[in-house]
Structure 1
Amino acid sequence: MPCRGHSTKTEEPFWSEEWKKAGLKATQAPSTSVMQKVLFIETGMGCDQHGSREEHGATKAAIRACRNAIEFNSIPCIQDIVPGGRAGMKIHLKLGIPEEANGVDLDQVRAVFPYGQLLPIEVVNGGLTFQSGRVVEQLGDEKDLAVIVLACVTVGY
């Protein structure tokens, strides 16, 4: 399952224009960085009913899984708990992606996280594929394969 971890684009992707204007974006943690203390773990699932696309078939499902894991949480005291506040928060992301999926653009997935330091993303075989019952050529479908990706987001410092 090919995963592209570094963008060849000149500008890194942002989740939204609002985040771009506010300067919200997680950074890549230094390669020597490790998580000393786990504070919480969030899980999510994302589905792309047109996940058989040639390029980055499971990317949309992975983004949805990450959003599902983090979007209903608010931890206002993180500023007081983590040394360095939100910027010092470490994030470990583990994605379960079906082997049949055509890969994930990890730069797009990283853009989902508004702050913190992302440790290297761990990708394992997992998730699910199933027949969606339709092929929509205008959306890039080559077959009726839908993709489900699972995400585990561990936050600590």
Structure 2
Amino acid sequence: MPFDGGSDATATGLGGPQALGMTQVLFVEVGMGADQHGQDATKAAVRACRNAIEFNSIPSIRAIVPGGYDAMKLHIQIGAPEGAKIDLAKVRAVFPYGNIVDPIDVCVGGLLAKSGIAIPEMGDKNDDFVICVASVTVGY
């Protein structure tokens, strides 16, 4: 289900490396991010993407990927609560290298939970707690 988070936010059916714009998939990283106060789906999506990549070190990328980091491709898929608006430029900024395969896929997923408290000073409009998940596929 498409979101209106940006012109490249679409949901697709995935099927193999070619469907991801890649010749070879090397690995998939998964992360979760949340914004407990402020109901900011972009903040939750950025945190999910950072969480997916921040505990990995793949020093052999230069040896595995023809062309090294400059030729590495990343396919990003984000699950967010229905109706969430995500600034995909901020999501793209999370990744220090590699080429993000367009489009970034944003689909209905994640969770809209209740935090149990709304704190206006923290930007809360209500007690919604926005949770997003991210899948980052790395290949070439």
TM-score, with structure 2 as normaliser: 0.84
Q: Give the drift of 1:2.
A: 2.4
Secondary structure at 2:63 match in 1? helix
CA gap of 1:60–1:5, structure 2 versus 1, over 3 A, is farther
Alignment correspondent of 2:88:
106
Residue identity matched to 1:78: I
Residue identity matched to 1:41: V
Q: Give the drift of 1:134.
A: 1.4
Contact 1:35/1:156 (<8 A) preserved: yes
Residue identity matched to 1:151: A
Secondary structure at 2:131 match in 1? strand
Q: How does 1:114-129 map to 2 (within 5 A)?
A: 114-120=96-102, 121-129=104-112
Alignment correspondent of 1:151:
134
RMSD: 1.6
Which of 70, 80, 89 is the equivalent residue of 2:53? 70
Identical aligned residues as a percent: 56
Count of residue correspondences? 126
Consecutive unaligned residues of structure 1, counting only runs of 5 or more, are 7-32
Secondary structure at 2:89 match in 1? helix
> Aligned partners of 1:90 and 1:148: how far apart in 2?
26
Runs of 4+ in 1 over 3 A off after TM superposition: none
Secondary structure at 1:123 match in 2? strand
> Aligned partners of 2:38 and 2:53: how far apart in 1?
22
Q: Give the drift of 1:100.
A: 4.5
Residue identity matched to 1:77: S
Q: Give the drift of 1:4.
A: 2.7
Residue identity matched to 1:117: N
Alignment correspondent of 1:37:
24
Secondary structure at 2:46 match in 1? helix
Alignment correspondent of 2:72:
89
Contact 2:5/2:86 (<8 A) preserved: yes
CA gap of 1:51–1:4, structure 2 versus 1, over 3 A, is farther
TM-score, with structure 1 as normaliser: 0.76
